[in-house]
Amino acid sequence: MSSAMGLKSYAAVDLGASSGRVMVGRVDPDRLELTEAHRFPNRPVRTPEGLRWDVLALYAGVLDGLRAAGQVDSVGVDSWAVDHGLLDADGALLGNPVHYRDARTEGVARKVWATLPAEELYAATGLQYAPFNTLYQLVAASGTAQFAQARRLLLIPDLLTYWLTGEQGTELTNASTTQLIDPRTRDWSYEVADRLGIDLALFAPLRRPGDPAGVLTPRVLEETGLAGPVRVTAVGSHDTASAVAAVPASGERFAYICTGTWSLAGLELTAPVLTEESRAANFTNELGLDGTVRYLRNIMGLWLLQECVRAWGEPDLGGLLLAAARVPALRSVVDAGDAAFLAPGRMPERIAEACRTSGQPVPASPAE
């Protein structure tokens, strides 16, 4: 928008596990106006090697969104956590990034704990146990031909930022989900990396939310029709970090529930909680904006619903929810966080099987 009007425009690229969008925020001293410029699907692909993200389709969606956004003053990118792309010595991507729901990390955590016990790992990094944490993905990848060629690892928002700008960096809030960051120092946990044989030189230098991340390259300007220079700024590139920063809290003591494929419930603290009680309750310490810690628990969110809807051929969701509301509630109860529901595919059948094996009524229709 015209700076003469006192307005500045910002493009926010927000990538989730099932869709991506480009939002435009127009800001002046008195107001914030948000517009969705473009929304596009995020459809993972099952290849012979396993489950992969179609990152090229995501990047195309980002370019389409920036074109639809029109002239902006700055761009920022956020996405889900833990997943990453591997680059060779020339900076070229070595294959589509592996999806965190891929089976390659099954059993890896126990191998890690044999070298670095879970209690010590939590005391050093404060990160909850999840089988797909970047740390376990790296251990699973070690010894593969692709990993042997890798000279750089970029988390998903950093990878897209690199393609937009040609500049490489590792944004801190997302890096804190790798299980390789010390939440007290807000820097790499060199001891953890050393004990597990992980070369931290694989990561680009850390940068913080608000740091400059480059400018759109001439090729991107040509693709999007934007007039340069257009700055790209590091944001809280873990989507939950940005979401928590936007919570309209009236004071410092507030809780939040952030819901998507996952739901995250927690607090914003000034220091991490690294006690054994915290580990046993599987709370995590992820880094937020302005020196904060997002102390939270992961809860299975809308994943089961998303997968069921996908299996049924994308029926009208409004009609489905109305029909579900007419069905008696809580006839059967399953644990949505059970590892049996982690992978994609056949979700209605797996839910029915969980009811059957636990002796509960088996749902016989989508509404049930």
- Per-residue pLDDT reduced to its tens digit, 289-310: 999 999 999 888 899 999 999 9
Domains of the chain (ranges plus CATH)?
A: 3-240 (3.30.420.40), 303-357 (no CATH)
The predicted-structure confidence for 243-277, as pLDDT tens digits, reads as follows 999 999 988 899 999 888 889 999 999 999 999 99
| Mean pLDDT score across all residues of the chain | 95
Whether residue 4 is predicted with pLDDT greater than 80 in this model: the reply is no
Decide if pLDDT at 182 tops 60. yes
* Residue 2 pLDDT class (50, 70, 90 cuts): very low
Condensed to tens digits (0 to 9), the pLDDT of residues 59-117 reads 999 999 999 999 999 999 999 999 999 999 999 999 999 999 999 999 999 999 999 99
Residue 5's pLDDT is what?
55
Q: Radius of gyration over alpha carbons of the chain, in Å? A: 21
**Mean pLDDT of all residues in 30-53:** 95
Q: Report the distance separating Cα 190 and Cα 195, nearest Å.
A: 9
pLDDT of 250 reads 86
What pLDDT, on a 0 to 100 scale, did the predictor assign at position 1? 39
Backbone angles phi, psi at 295, to 5 degrees: -95, 110
pTM, full prediction: 0.90
> Given 14, 102, 182, 239, which residue is catalytic?
239
Torsion of CA 94, 100, 102, 108, to 10 degrees: 100
Question: Of 257 and 339, which is predicted with more confidence?
Answer: 257
- The pLDDT of 49-64, averaged and rounded, is 98
Does 64 qualify as catalytic in the annotation? no
pLDDT above 90 coverage of the chain, percent:
90
pLDDT in tens, 135-160: 999 999 999 999 999 999 999 999 99
Task: Give alpha helix (H) positions in the chain.
Answer: 55-69, 108-115, 118-125, 134-141, 145-149, 156-165, 172-175, 190-196, 218-224, 239-245, 276-280, 303-311, 317-325, 347-357
Nearby residues of 19 by Cβ (< 8 Å), 6 or more positions away:
39, 40, 41, 42
Residue 29, pLDDT score? 87
Q: What is the mean pLDDT of residues 202-214?
A: 98
What is the reported pLDDT for 341?
92
Residue-level pLDDT at 339:
86
